[in-house]
């Protein structure tokens, strides 16, 4: 089944917050990274990000059901960053994240460069991004014992 993207509105921030908490809860429990894990972000912080002129939020929709969210940060006319992207746990491992990445890239035809980061120790996530054409930049940041952030880039 194909997903589609639906641009979120400010009134959706509460739903985005709930989905973000649900989608990132396991990683928060595993790594106890309360500083950077999206599950520990407040509703107010999401609302502040939503109001940034260079930020767009999209729901990932499967047959009228919102199964995830992706935030696009426009760094410049030709460069975008995905931060974060989430699929609700009950919909993970079905290829929807790959479809969402492809769909979001098509929404920004002038973007020649896409950036994102993930937890290096989460091999499933690294595999997903690499499968979608993202290449490690070589930059890594150790946040906690056994938790390293790895940065990716994709040139179109």
Encode pLDDT of 95-111 as tens digits: 999 999 999 999 999 99
Question: Are 152 and 134 within 8 A, CB to CB?
Answer: yes
What is the rounded average pLDDT for all residues in the chain?
Answer: 97
Structural domains of the chain, count: 1
Domain that residue 94 falls in: 4-155
CATH number at residue 109: 3.40.630.30
Q: Read off the pTM.
A: 0.97
Mean pLDDT of 135-145: 96
Burial class (CB in 10 A: 0-12, 13-18, 19+), 2: exposed
Mind listing the pLDDT tens digit for each residue in 1-49? Answer: 899 999 999 999 999 999 999 999 999 999 999 999 999 999 999 999 9
Q: Of all residues in the chain, what percent carry a pLDDT higher than 70?
A: 100
Question: Are 124 and 111 within 8 A, CB to CB?
Answer: no
């Amino acid at each position: 089944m194909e997903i589609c993207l639906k641009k979120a509105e400010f009134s959706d921030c509460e739903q985005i917050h709930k989905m973000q908490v649900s989608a990132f809860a396991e990683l928060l429990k595993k790594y106890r990274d309360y500083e950077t894990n999206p599950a520990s972000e407040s509703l107010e912080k999401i609302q502040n990000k939503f109001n940034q002129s260079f930020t767009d939020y999209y729901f990932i929709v499967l047959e009228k059901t919102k199964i995830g969210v992706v935030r696009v940060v426009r760094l410049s006319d030709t460069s975008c960053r995905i931060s974060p992207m989430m699929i609700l746990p009950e919909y993970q491992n079905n290829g929807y994240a790959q479809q969402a990445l492809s769909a979001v890239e098509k929404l920004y035809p002038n973007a020649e460069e896409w950036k994102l980061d993930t937890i290096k120790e989460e091999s499933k996530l690294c595999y997903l991004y690499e499968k979608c054409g993202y290449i490690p930049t070589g930059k890594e940041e150790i946040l906690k014992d056994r938790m390293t952030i790895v940065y990716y880039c994709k040139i179109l």
